[in-house]
Amino acid sequence: MALVLPRRLARGDLVGVVSPSSPVAASVPRRFERGVAELERRGFHVRVGEHARSKTGWTAGEPVDRVADLHAMFTDPDVRAIVCTIGGYNANQLLELLDYELIAANPKLFVGYSDITALHGAIHARTGLATMLGPALLPQFGEFGGVDDYTWGAFERVAMRAEPAGAFRQPERWYPERLWWDEQDDRSRIPEPAAPWRTVRAERAEGPIVAGNVNTLLLLNGTPWSPPLDGALLCLEDDEEYGKPWLVERQLFQLRQLGAFDRAAGLAYGRIHPDAGFDSEAGIDEILLRATAGTEIPVAAGLDFSHTDPLMTLPWGVRARLDAGDEVTLELLEAAVV
């Protein structure tokens, strides 16, 4: 399927906000309003989806409600981009309800990460749209003091400029500190120096990006919405809950047994939060080598597109180059927007 690029986002555009998964937005009103205010400060107008602050059990409304919000944002000609509030657990409920012809007829920026991977994979597989793993309203735009400069710079380069974004390199700092939203997040988190991105198996490779949460991506296996992985540059990540060493290894070995690493061009794995329980960086590196044993694909680890801040914006289907050598870089070779 041909790659479809959305129109670039420009200041003055209208951004729609939706919650396809978790109902967290309903319980953190201060954080939510701060995220909206940050988008406005960056020059955008904001329209909040009807059910973006709904709560039905562990989701933001019933599946039909969440799909209705997505359809409304995609069909509204004034909305130029759709930003998710956060991830969660059950975005895959929406896959059989989405109108992919409607989305294909109205291609536009769609941004989020974590559980939103289910929507990225399905929409890309069915429409060819270059959706984007990138900052969400609550975790990034709702941060005290505004979105991190590295996160914003990456988003701006990818989503707002109709030219190749070029090479991403590691940030100077990151934010492992946790502050409870709407209770403790009335100050900036204390940054720490960011550990370098690491080469696990040295080599260079190019391919279309497939980026997202590995746990969620595996939910699509065997379904009609499973994205193609042939020749892909896999950019995989997980959070501190599912990123435990034994779960990471289990997930990566499922990908191995599906033949994903035999078909992929390369593998980049996201930075892991200390709460995941790895004793050292060597632990994840060893797992990555075991899971890709018998292949020659380049492997790098510790990149910033994970459940950590800051994070890059990675567009699905856009060709990129992973250089796993003395210095690890991830370079976007094509424009992600028009």
| CATH code where residue 170 lies | 3.50.30.60
* Average pLDDT of the segment spanning 25-50: 98
| Residue 150, in any domain of the structure | yes
The answer to whether residues 82 and 195 belong to one domain is no
Residue that terminates a domain, selected from 159, 181, 214: 159
Q: What is the CATH number of the domain that holds 80?
A: 3.40.50.10740
Tokens of 134: 């990138």
Per the structure, the count of domains in the chain is 2
Q: How high is the pLDDT of residue 259? A: 97
The answer to whether residues 178 and 318 belong to one domain is yes
What gap in Å lies between CA 75 and CA 112, rounded to an integer? 19
| Residue 8, in any domain of the structure | no
Q: Looking at residue 191, what DSSP letter applies?
A: P
**Helical spans, DSSP H, in the chain:** 29-41, 63-75, 100-105, 117-127, 149-159, 214-219, 245-257, 260-263, 281-291
What gap in Å lies between CA 8 and CA 120, rounded to an integer? 18
Is the predicted pLDDT of residue 5 greater than 90, yes or no? Answer: yes
Please report how many Cα atoms fall inside a 13 Å half-sphere around the Cα of residue 129, on the Cβ side.
26
Confidence of residue 2 (pLDDT cuts 50, 70, 90): very high
The answer to whether residues 187 and 268 belong to one domain is yes
The answer to whether residues 244 and 140 belong to one domain is no
Tokens of 46: 């904001």
Q: How many CB atoms lie within 10 A of CB 307?
A: 23
| Residue 262, in any domain of the structure | yes
The answer to whether residues 24 and 141 belong to one domain is yes
DSSP SS3 for 128 = coil
The answer to whether residues 312 and 173 belong to one domain is yes
The answer to whether residues 213 and 94 belong to one domain is no
Say if pTM beats, i.e. exceeds, 0.75: yes
| Residue 92, in any domain of the structure | yes
The answer to whether residues 139 and 256 belong to one domain is no
Q: How high is the pLDDT of residue 262? A: 97
Is the predicted pLDDT of residue 291 greater than 80, yes or no? Answer: yes
The answer to whether residues 132 and 250 belong to one domain is no
The answer to whether residues 197 and 225 belong to one domain is yes
Q: What is the rounded radius of gyration, in angstroms, for the C-alpha atoms of the chain? A: 18
- Using one digit for the tens of pLDDT, what is the confidence trace for 215-227? 999 999 999 999 9
Q: Which domain holds residue 317?
A: 166-332
Residue that terminates a domain, selected from 112, 130, 159: 159
The answer to whether residues 152 and 199 belong to one domain is no
Tell me which of 274 and 151 has the higher pLDDT. 151
Closest to 194 (Cα-Cα) out of 234, 232, 148, 241: 148
| Residue 337, in any domain of the structure | no
| Residue 1, in any domain of the structure | no
Backbone angles phi and psi of 264, in degrees to 5? -75, 160
What is the sign, positive or negative, of the torsion defined by CA atoms of 123, 125, 128, 134? Answer: positive
- Rounded to the nearest integer, the mean pLDDT of the chain is 96
* Average pLDDT of the segment spanning 48-57: 98
- Using one digit for the tens of pLDDT, what is the confidence trace for 86-120? 999 999 999 999 999 999 999 999 999 999 999 99
- Using one digit for the tens of pLDDT, what is the confidence trace for 233-258? 999 999 877 778 889 999 999 999 99
Confidence of residue 276 (pLDDT cuts 50, 70, 90): confident
The answer to whether residues 136 and 217 belong to one domain is no
Q: How high is the pLDDT of residue 280? A: 66
Secondary structure percentages of the chain, helix, strand, coil, to 5: 30, 20, 45
Confidence of residue 277 (pLDDT cuts 50, 70, 90): confident
Backbone angles phi and psi of 41, in degrees to 5? -65, -30
Residue that terminates a domain, selected from 124, 159, 194: 159
Strands 173-174 and 266-270: unpaired
The 329-332 sheet, strands edge to edge? 166-168, 329-332, 319-324, 203-213, 233-237, 266-270, 299-303, 198-201
What is the sign, positive or negative, of the torsion defined by CA atoms of 122, 127, 133, 137? Answer: negative
Distance of CA 266 to the CA centre of its chain: 18
| Residue 38, in any domain of the structure | yes
| Residue 2, in any domain of the structure | no
